[in-house]
Structures are given as structure tokens and as C-alpha cells.
Structure 1
Amino acid sequence: MPTATPVPAGTLRHIGGLSDAVVATPVPSWLTVLTGGALVAASFLFTSLLTDHAAIRAVNGWSVRLPVPLPLRRGAAASLSAAGVVALTAVLVAGTVGPATPTANLAVLLVWVGWWAGYAMSTYLLGNTWPAVNPWRTLAHVLPATGGRRLPRRYGAWPSVAGLLALVWIEVVSPLAAAPRALVALLVAYTAVTLAGARRYGADTWFRRVDPVSRAFRLYGRVAPVQRARRRTPERAGSPDDGPRLRLPGAALTDRTAPEPGSAAFVVALLWATTFDGLVATPAWNAFARGALAPVVPAGPAGRVLAWLFYLLALVVGFGVFLGTYRLAAARSRSVVGSLLAPAAVERRFAPSLLPIAAGYHLAHSLGYLLTLSPALLAVVVDPFGGGTARVVVLPGWFGPLQLGFVVLGHLLAVWVAHALALDLFPGVLRPIRSQYPFVVVMVAYTMVAAWVVGQPTVTPAFL
């Protein structure tokens, strides 16, 4: 059974890594890596036997309307919006005047444990409520708009790609989990940029196309079983399609969406961001970083800046490798079936199949973090400025294999989604199956990397 113990020193130094109380899987790394890859390959062999286009569309198209009255939905949305603003205010106040100890500070625990670990999981396990919760969106709609500028369509999702990578880099290199005041400074800067951008380009445009957090939660929400109500139009008001609907997990990923430049790159960036967040806390990465930085990094501020640049370079290069690998798979898929579709069209169409992988890895990466620090979070919610001794839950040894199970489940769902997308995109029976070969190779590689990272113990990133 899990037990509660005082929080260990350094538990929150790197917010992306799991707590020191989360043990690594006792299964040998090479076995977990090979097993994960083999399961994904075997699942492809199974799904390739399912070639009935109409039956697969019927499975993915199945839905049940949830009988939630419109007044209740509006009241819930208003309550969530108010709760979001209250939570943001509490974080700013607690981070400014609360205890300096991170495990006793409401701001640190609410942001990283309650929000980025716990709430983020709800977006793909249940449904995406972020449009209602988002305090910046609520404030943006309250502030007067400047009536501003149009964001060029050619930019597509690329601003949110850059924003996501920037946030991950800041999270890795800065002491956001150890210094509540630094966290407040980041939130104030993020608030200023977000509200200024929403005023300049319009709140709907900013949160749909630029804000990386909103895009990430929106994409995670497509994995969830509960899908948001469709937008009401006068001709559809009162129709049975109105209201939230229950669908099979991942089924919404097979729906067609409007093409947008950079949309596939953002999905890859979301997958790489979680991978990088865990990778930099592994002993193997730290050995590599020390070998690369020790000869050239001097002591003092100059050395710290060089270390920051090194991690930025690693983040960008790793994203380039992930994106290049995915684009190569898309090009090979198009070539194998002799398709006349543009390469970008194939990339965008298959990109949603990577989202279950990102969700599965986030779940494996964050659930232990949430469970371990939940007593500390509960304590500061009850007594925000008490500054008492925080406690953590020590998870049992079988939790490590459970984490790997989440990774594998995400990849199995990804294989199914890719199969459905291929049958929808390419005609016939053999062409859709052949088109998946390159993507299955990529998924197997992603699975093996994720399984290896999750199975490693966590340490503080070197030189940070």
C-alpha cells in the first residue's frame, strides 16, 4: 500500500520529472523497450486484418448524446470561468507572499501538480474544459479589444509551435518549481503577452492559433471520450446534435479538420516536449551533458548561460529529428502507394494518430507525480499560508510497469487511429495497409524511446 513520508529534498527541482518517490520499473530496460515495440508491431498486424471501410467508419462515428440541458451547460461554463480566474489570482498571491519552500507553496503545487499534471490528464481522459476554465481567455473577453490586426493565414500553427518549445525550454532550465517568485514572474509575463496578443488579433484568433497551451489542450481533448457541443446555428438550434456527446476514445481524431500549415509540426512538438522533459532527468542524459559541457562551461553566470543555450540547442535539434522522422515517414507512405496528394496533406492527415502517443506518455510521465505530491497539494489548499511540513506518498513497486502500460496503450490506440485514417484517405484494401508501414516504424521507434525514458530513475538535470 502507498505510504506517506516527508517530501524528499530536490523532489521539485525539475517539475517535468517524476518525484524521487516514484521508483523506476524493476523490469530490465532492454526488455521493456523491446516489449513495447513488439506490442505496437503486433497491434498493426491485427488491425491490418480489418479492412471493412464502412464498419470502421461506423465504429469511429458512434456517439451518444449526453442529456445535459443548455442552462446547466452555461452555468457550469460560468462557474469554471470564475474558478479559473480565482485560481490564477491565488497562484499570483501565494507565489508572491507565500512560503519560499516550494512543497509548502500553493502556487508551485497548484500549477505543476494540480494543473499541468492533474488537470491536463482530464483533457484527454474526460474532455477538454479549458476554453471555459482558461482565465486568460476570460480576462481577454472582459478587456476592450483594439479591433486590430489580422494574423496571416500562412503562419498557421507555427507561432504556437515556437511558443510550446519556448515554454518547455524555460521550464527545464529555470528553477520554476524551486522558486515561487520566479514562477510568478513567468505567469505575469505570460499574462501580459497573452492579453496583448488577444487585444491585437482578437481573443478567438489568439487562443485558436497562437496560444500553445490552448492548442495543446484542444488536441488532447480530441482523444477524450466526451466531445464538446457543436456550435449552435439558427437552423440547428434545438436539434438532437446539440450538446456534448460520448464517443469512443480517440474516435474524434478520425474526423476531418480544416488544413492548417504547421498543424502536424505542433503535434510532433507536443510529443517531443513531453519526451524531452523526461529525457533531461535521466542519468544517461546527465552523463552526456556533463561530458559535453564540463570542458567548456566556466563557473559563474557565464557558464549557466552556456548551459541554457546547450539545452535550447538540444531541444531544437531533438524536435528537428522527431519532425524530420515523421516527415520522412509521410513521404515514404505517399511514395509506397503512388499517391498524388501533396506531402503536406499526408503529414496533416496522419498527424492526429500521434496524439494518443503524446497523451499516453503524459499520463505515464505525470500520474506518479500527481499521486506522490497530492498530500502536499491538499495541505496547502486547506492552509495556503501555513508553511507546514509537506508529505508525499511513496508509490508501490508495481507502479513502474503500470506507467509503461500507459505508454503502450497510447501507442495501440495510435495504431488504430492511423489505420482508420489510412482507410479514409486511400481507396482500396492493400493501399491503405501499405501506406501505414512507414508510420508503424516511426511509432515503434517512438514507443521504444518513451518506454526507455519512463523506465529510468530521475535525477536533477546537469548544470542547471
Structure 2
Amino acid sequence: MSRQSARVLGAAVGLAAVCGVAVAHGGSLRNASSQGLAVPTWLFLSTGGAVVGASFLLASFVTDRAFVASVDSWRHGLSAPRRLLAWAGRAVGVAGLAVVVAAGYLGPDDSLRNAAIMLVWVGWWAAFAMTTYLVGNAWPAVDPFRTLTRPLAGALAGRDVDLSPGRAAWASTAFLLALVWFEVVSPLADDAPLLAAAALGYLALAAAGVLAVGHRQWFERVDPLARLFRMYGSVAPVQRTDDALALRLPGMRLTDDVVATNGGVAFVVAVLWGTTFDGFVGTPAWASLARAAVAAGVPPALLYPAALAVGFLAFHRLYWWAARAAKRTGPTFTDTGRIARRFAPSLLAIAAGYHLAHYLTYALSLSPALVGALANPLNPPVARTLVLPAWLSGVGIAAVLLGHLLAIWVAHATAYDELPGRLQAIRSQYALTAAMVFYTMTSLWIIGQPAGEPPFL
């Protein structure tokens, strides 16, 4: 490993050690927003799997390449004051970070009244993250860490840093898995001063990363949050072009070369598995499994990192099995790596659908507490939450199914773009559709479970 690579990985490990703040939302907030499902489990599981399978059969009848290409390539230019929006986004991002730090140290201890906790978990990771795949990715402008480290770019002008895109993507993957682990095991969702300290630590280590590899390369290749929102933003209808904005049909950006390296494939799988794991550890099945493992002699401290790693490897191997099977059933001279990279973006539609299902009721139920906390960050009123109707749980099911249906179309369009024969394109999707059915059943099963506190934390 080169000295420069060692510096990048060192910065990555250091950043991962404090940036669990990025996606944590557990603790008392998890209990405050829990909601049961009003649909029988057997019904929505069987229906979900059947819908995905049937959608593949229907898509396979669409064999007109010109029509498929016209759907994927349709776009409409949008006029927008990009410079003004960029400056406004930077101001909002820096102000938000200031609120997190100030309220973290000076705000009340009650999680539901603390502006730092509510802004990060509800306002940012739930609500803002939804906008990245429902509207468009504004994180490059809003990102306060990118804004505050920008002056360092001037000190590094002309510096040539050779950073492999593949290694950078693998580093981002390791970052993301570390963030998911901290989300589950850390007390940051209940400890506002610790949250503020972690935010400042993230800023310091982002600065170290910028000094190591440069501002542009850090935020475009290494930083996991920037990569995560960029991947989610690929699902959105509003896309950035070189000099403007463009409106596309939702998810059609995913038919382009969004993933360029095998490390990028791993990152996409980590996005999908990370959100799944976050929901899985709150189910009664995980509680029973964890207690049985500890009773058998497994140290509690190893439970969550081991389950996270094993689940990621399982999802990762399943996807690569589908890619290899696609090459065989095609058949095609296109190598397996190329197939894996082209089809990987379709998984982002699944991840976005599950994120929406996982966080929609969470954000809605806690929205009054968020507004109250931000209205007076240092002395907020008594927190209120919304009691949501039971039928709203059906929206989560619909979000998962719509995400999978969009993924089916993206895979179908990608196959027709990548493979020359119609029969090749259809056959190449067999294994990937089977994997998607598995992902669908897993996601829907988790949504149907009653929420609970993960044990041994």
C-alpha cells in the first residue's frame, strides 16, 4: 500500500470513529415514533413477492428498444438561479451545524426538546434524506463540512494526488458500514453534548481528509455522506447537468453509468443492507436471536458488528451471484464486472423505497417536536408528537413495492442498453429479479414487525 493510500485509510478510520452522528436515530426517538402495521404479514409478503415477479413478466413484453430508450433519455431543462441556491444552501448548512453545536452543549437534556438531536435525526437524516431521492440532491450545497473546509482547497492548489476511484469507493463502503454500526450501538440519539462533540470531530477529520487527498477528491470520492446522497440523488427526477438543471423521469438516471468500479458496487449494496440492518435489529426476531447467541457464549460487544458484516457479505455475494448468473443465462461476452456495475444502480431504487417506508411515519410523527425545538433551540416548549392513523402504514408498503417496481424497469432498460439481443436482455434479468424478490420479502417482513429496543445496548 502506498503512503498516500495509508494516509487516506488512516483518515477514514479516524473519521469513522466519531461520525456515528451521521445516521443515528435510536434511543427515545425510536420509541416515540413507533407504529404497528395494520396488514396481515402473510398477505403483504406474498403480495409483495408476486408483484415484483409479475412486474418483471410485464416488463419483458416491452421489447421496443426505441421506446425503452425514449423513456430513459427523456429530459426537460429547468431554469434556476444555481449560484443563489448554492449560497443559500451553504448558509443553511452552516447555520444548521451551529444549531447542533450550540443546542448540543446548551440545550435541554430531553431528547424530544433538544434542537440538536431533533435537527440531525428528524430534520436531516429522515426528512432531508427523503428529498434527495424524491426531488434532487442538494447536499453538495448544504453540506457544512464541505463549506467550512473549502478554504483549505486554496492551500492545496496545484497539488496532484493520485487517488484510485476503486479504493476510494471501498473506503466509502467501510465508512458507511461503520456509520450504520454506530447508529445502532451509540447513545448519540440521547446524549446531546456527545452529539455536538461528534459533529465537531467530523468537521476536524473532514479537514484532515481534505489535507490528505484534496478537497474535491475527498468529497467526490471518499466522504461516505457525499457518496450516499449522490447515490440517492440518482433516483430523483431533478438532476444536475454541467451548467443547469434537468427534469427526468424518476429513476432514469440509474440507467446511466452511475457506478464505475467494483468498490462502487459494494457501496450500493452497503446502502441497501445498511437500511435493512437498521430495521432488522429492532425486530423481535433479532432480539430472540441475540439473546440465544449471548446465552451460547457470544460476547454482546461482538453481536452487532458481526451481524452487520455477515449480512453485508450475504447481500454482496447474492448480488454477485446474480451478476454471474446473468452472464450465463444471457449469454454474453460482456464480463461479469461490467454487468455487476451496470445493474447495481437498480438497487438504489429499492434502497430509496425502503428508506421512505422506514422513515416516513418517523418524520411525520416527530415533526411537531422538530418545529418546536427549532423555534427556540435553547429553551424549547414541551415536545409534541403526532398520532398517525393506522392506514398510513400502508404507505410504507407502497413505497417498498414502488421502489422495487422502479428497480425492475431500470434493470430492464439497462439490459436493453447493454446487451444486443432481445432474448439476451430478458434472460439476463432472471437471477437479478430473483434477488429483488428476496430483497422485497426481507424489507416487507421487517416493516411488518413491531418495533422494539435492540437488546444488549
TM-score of the two chains, using structure 2 as the length reference: 0.91
430-439 vs 88-97, which moves further: 88-97
> In structure 1, how many angstroms separate the alpha carbons of the residues matched to 2:294 and 2:34?
28
Kept in 2: contact 1:18–1:366 (CA 8 A): no
Shift of 1:185: 2.7
For residue 365 of structure 1, what is the amino acid of its counterpart? Answer: H
> In structure 2, how many angstroms separate the alpha carbons of the residues matched to 1:104 and 1:16?
12
Kept in 2: contact 1:145–1:202 (CA 8 A): no
Query: 1:54 pairs with 39, 63, 66, which one?
Result: 66
Q: Which residue of 2 aligns with 1:134?
A: 143
CA RMSD of aligned residues (A): 1.7
Query: Any idea what the Cα deviations from partners look like across 1:254-313, whole Å, max 9, x if unmatched?
Result: 12347223111110000000000000011111111111114537xxxxxxxx42322001
For residue 317 of structure 2, what is the amino acid of its counterpart? Answer: G
Q: Which residue of 2 aligns with 1:284?
A: 285
Equivalent positions of 1:180-219 (< 5 A) are 180-219=192-231
Q: Which residue of 1 aligns with 2:350?
A: 357
Query: Any idea what the Cα deviations from partners look like across 1:108-158, whole Å, max 9, x if unmatched?
Result: 000000000000000000000111111111112123544474323441410
Query: Any idea what the Cα deviations from partners look like across 1:139-193, whole Å, max 9, x if unmatched?
Result: 1212354447432344141000000000110111011111112212322222222
For residue 270 of structure 1, what is the amino acid of its counterpart? Answer: V
For residue 454 of structure 1, what is the amino acid of its counterpart? Answer: I
For residue 44 of structure 1, what is the amino acid of its counterpart? Answer: F
Report how many aligned residue pairs link the two structures: 431
Q: Higher helix fraction: Structure 1 or Structure 2?
A: 2
> In structure 2, how many angstroms separate the alpha carbons of the residues matched to 1:112 and 1:308?
24
- Shift in CA distance, 432/18, structure 1 to aligned 2, threshold 3 Å: farther
Q: Which residue of 1 aligns with 2:12?
A: none
For residue 103 of structure 2, what is the amino acid of its counterpart? Answer: A
| SS in structure 2 at match of 1:102 | coil
Query: 1:324 pairs with 303, 317, 325, which one?
Result: 317
Equivalent positions of 1:94-133 (< 5 A) are 94-133=103-142
Q: Which residue of 2 aligns with 1:75?
A: 84
> In structure 2, how many angstroms separate the alpha carbons of the residues matched to 1:63 and 1:210?
30
For residue 384 of structure 1, what is the amino acid of its counterpart? Answer: P
Equivalent positions of 1:238-253 (< 5 A) are 242-253=243-254
- Shift in CA distance, 64/157, structure 1 to aligned 2, threshold 3 Å: same
Q: Which residue of 2 aligns with 1:390?
A: 383
Q: Which residue of 2 aligns with 1:92?
A: 101
Q: Which residue of 2 aligns with 1:66?
A: 78
For residue 212 of structure 1, what is the amino acid of its counterpart? Answer: P
Structure 2 residue 425 is matched with structure 1 residue 432 = yes
197-206 vs 435-444, which moves further: 197-206
Segments ≥4 residues shifted beyond 4 Å: 15-21
110-119 vs 59-68, which moves further: 59-68
Q: Which residue of 1 aligns with 2:273?
A: 272
- Shift in CA distance, 279/257, structure 1 to aligned 2, threshold 3 Å: closer
TM-score of the two chains, using structure 1 as the length reference: 0.90
Kept in 2: contact 1:19–1:372 (CA 8 A): no
Kept in 1: contact 2:165–2:221 (CA 8 A): no
Kept in 2: contact 1:208–1:215 (CA 8 A): yes
Kept in 1: contact 2:374–2:380 (CA 8 A): no
Q: Which residue of 1 aligns with 2:52?
A: 40
> In structure 2, how many angstroms separate the alpha carbons of the residues matched to 1:367 and 1:415?
23
Q: Which residue of 2 aligns with 1:459?
A: 452
For residue 281 of structure 2, what is the amino acid of its counterpart? Answer: V
Q: Which residue of 1 aligns with 2:37?
A: 25
> In structure 2, how many angstroms separate the alpha carbons of the residues matched to 1:388 and 1:293?
42
Gaps of 5+ in 2: 1-23
Kept in 2: contact 1:223–1:356 (CA 8 A): yes
Q: Which residue of 2 aligns with 1:300?
A: none
> In structure 2, how many angstroms separate the alpha carbons of the residues matched to 1:259 and 1:324?
19
Q: Which residue of 2 aligns with 1:303?
A: none
Kept in 1: contact 2:29–2:111 (CA 8 A): no
Gaps of 5+ in 1: 1-11, 232-241, 298-305
